[in-house]
Homo-oligomer: A and B are copies of this chain.
């Protein structure tokens, strides 16, 4: 179950409320995994039961801020180093790109242009995130992942242009 580790990872970077985690999923980890609040809250409760996270503060509007415990950090470490990765993927964009070759040239062009427009948007978003991180803390552990995203996006954009 990656949701668990994704949550632990986000909390390891910085303590947060369930609400904030839901936002971070879309903002930073969204390329890798998506989860909505209806999954996040119950999973946070289970993680707290398991002693992997703990409430470190309560704020307005009944909010609870969680942080990773030692046990939680161990869980991340074990998962990354000792467990075999589940390589399962689900990427609708990739399915679409796969099927591009089945279309007639004029249809393909329309589909490719759509994808290029989206890619443009996506890269702009990544650049913005990169700037935000650089301004706040260039040593942020996720900074390098943003770079990876930018590099692969560049390859993908080139490829899409060739498919027009």
* Number of A residues, CB within 8 Å of B: 57
Which chain B residues border A143 with CB–CB below 8 Å?
101
Given A80-B103, A85-B118, A152-B156, are A95 and B5 also a contact pair (CB < 8 Å)? Answer: yes
Given A76-B102, A96-B80, are A90 and B145 also a contact pair (CB < 8 Å)? Answer: no
- Identify which of B85, B114, B151, B163 contacts A93 (C-beta below 8 A): B85
Residues of A within 8 A of B (CB): 2, 5-6, 9, 12-13, 28-34, 76-77, 80-81, 85-103, 107, 110-111, 114-115, 118, 140-145, 147-148, 151-152, 155-156, 159, 162-163
Across the interface, do A32 and B95 meet the contact criterion of CB distance under 8 Å?
yes
